[in-house]
Amino acid sequence: MSKKWAVLAVPVISVLLGLLAGAVIMLVSGNNPAAGYMALWNGAFGDSFYAGETLRQMTPYIFAGLAVAFAFRTGLFNIGVEGQLLVGWLASVWVGVAFELPKVIHLPLAVLAGAAAGAVWGFIPGFLKARLRVHEVIVTIMLNYTALHVTNHFIRNVISDGSDATDVVKESASLRSPFLENLTDFSSLHNGIFLAVIAAIIMWFLLEKTTLGYELRAVGYNQHASEYAGMNVNRNIILSMVISGAFAGIGGSMQGLGTFGNMFINSGFSGIGFDGIAVALLGGNTAVGVVLAALLFGALKVGSLNMPVESGVPNELVEIVIALIIFFVASSYMITWLLSRFKKKEAK
């Protein structure tokens, strides 16, 4: 009971502390925190348009968060979500541009292509870890850069003719939804949000309700014990990275088939993959937690754009708030310790 309480308390308290610290910084720098946060709220949920934008921003965050969380539950740090997302983005757009198919086949195919590309990109570090014990953090970080430059090369030289963006994907592969756009006053909210929620359910089911999930988690807890119990540790490591990469790859599909409708030369990382690490951390590596944390991050990112216009507070402040939230989550030990002290005193 008290343990579950702590699981929920740490992220909530971290968020509150982060916001509080943000308010102090606003005060010190001569801004009005109430106006600042009001503008943040209005920019995230103020009307249907902004709510739609928040949900749109949340969609890839869910996938990135799930990818990190899934690997983490198997005891692996997948820092390569960003790269897996980029290759997934490219593969989806490629399928979306190159083929002429009915929507029922084309759209799933494009999304699956994204998943497959991400899975391949996740397989490499998984394989190296399983066979050669190369640490996955190193490999995934380096593969991020590889993915960035490989995708840029493909966009310029293979998919397009020396241009810096691909064509827009065919209507039959697009996640865009006129219904959602009308509902949210022309925001770029697309059907991907439904896929994201389904993906979260799949991850929960897979990890908690299947033998495979049990094995994956067991390997995460203790490799030697799992091996002793007759599980194939190497196979589970590879499988975990492949599934994690597939989640990240579909996150890229969301960008390619939904938000942008194409892919362009990225001069740097989109940041979604790295934010995914924070989302997973804040969400306690659980499916529900990831969805809630993604909502928070989406709201903060989209809402921050409105802050300078409405209240004159620079939107860099939100970056500070996010960093502080992560800091407090990471130092969860401090919070749980404080909470237990608090309780003991009460007991006396």
Partner 1 sequence: MEKRKFGFAMSMVLAAGTILGACGGGEEEATDNGGGSGENTDKFTVAMVTDVGGVDDKSFNQSAWEGLQAFGEENGLEKGTDGYDYIQSKSDADYKTNLNTAVRNEFDLTYGIGYKLKPAIEEVAKQRTESQFAIVDDVVEGLDNVTSITFKEHEGSFLVGVVAGLQTKSDKIGFVGGIESDLINKFAGGFEAGVKAVNPDADVTIEFAGAFDKADKGQQMASAMYSSGIDIIYHAAGGTGNGVFAEAKSIKETDPEKEVWVIGVDRDQSEEGKVTVDGKEMNVTLTSMVKRVDLAVQDVAKKAMDGEFPGGEVIEYGLDAEGVSIAPTQDNLTEESIAAVDEWTEKIKNGEVEVPTVPSGK
Residue 189: count of CB within 10 angstroms of its CB: 29
The neighbouring-strand residues paired with 264 are: 165
Residues 28-47 that bind partner 1 (CB under 8 A): 43, 45-47
Give the DSSP H or E segment for 285.
none
Nearest residue to 63 via CA among 215, 216, 213, 255: 255
DSSP state of 268: S
Q: Is 151 in the site for partner 1 (CB under 8 A)?
A: no
> In whole angstroms, how close is the CB of 140 to partner 1 at the nearest point?
22
Measured in whole angstroms, the distance separating CA 68 from the mean position of its chain's CA atoms is: 8
Q: Rounded distance, CA 121 to CA 126, Å?
A: 9
Residue 112 neighbours by CB under 8 Å, 6+ apart: none
Out of 100, 104, 133, 267, name the contact with partner 1 by CB under 8 A.
Answer: 267
Q: Residue 259 interacts with partner 1 (CB under 8 A)?
A: yes
- Report in angstroms how near the CB of residue 15 gets to partner 1 at its nearest: 12
- Closest approach, Cβ 125 to partner 1, in A, equals 25
Instruction: Kindly state the tokens that stand for 230.
Output: 């007759």
Q: With respect to partner 1, which residue has the nearer C-beta, 52 or 75?
A: 52
Query: Can residue 260 be called a binding residue for partner 1 (CB under 8 A)?
Result: yes
Using alpha carbons only, give the angle 33, 37, 40 rounded to the nearest 5 degrees: 145
4 interacts with partner 1 by CB under 8 A = yes
Q: Does 274 bind partner 1 (CB under 8 A)?
A: no
Residues between 185 and 244 that touch partner 1 (CB under 8 A): 185-188
Residues 6+ apart with CB under 8 A from 11: 282, 283, 284, 289, 293, 329
Using the rule CB under 8 A, is 164 a contact of partner 1?
yes
Applying CB under 8 A, does 177 fall inside the site for partner 1?
no
Applying CB under 8 A, which residues contact partner 1? 1, 4-5, 8, 43, 45-51, 53, 55, 57, 152, 156, 162-165, 183-188, 255, 259-262, 264-265, 267-268, 270-271, 288, 292, 295, 302, 304-306, 308-310, 315
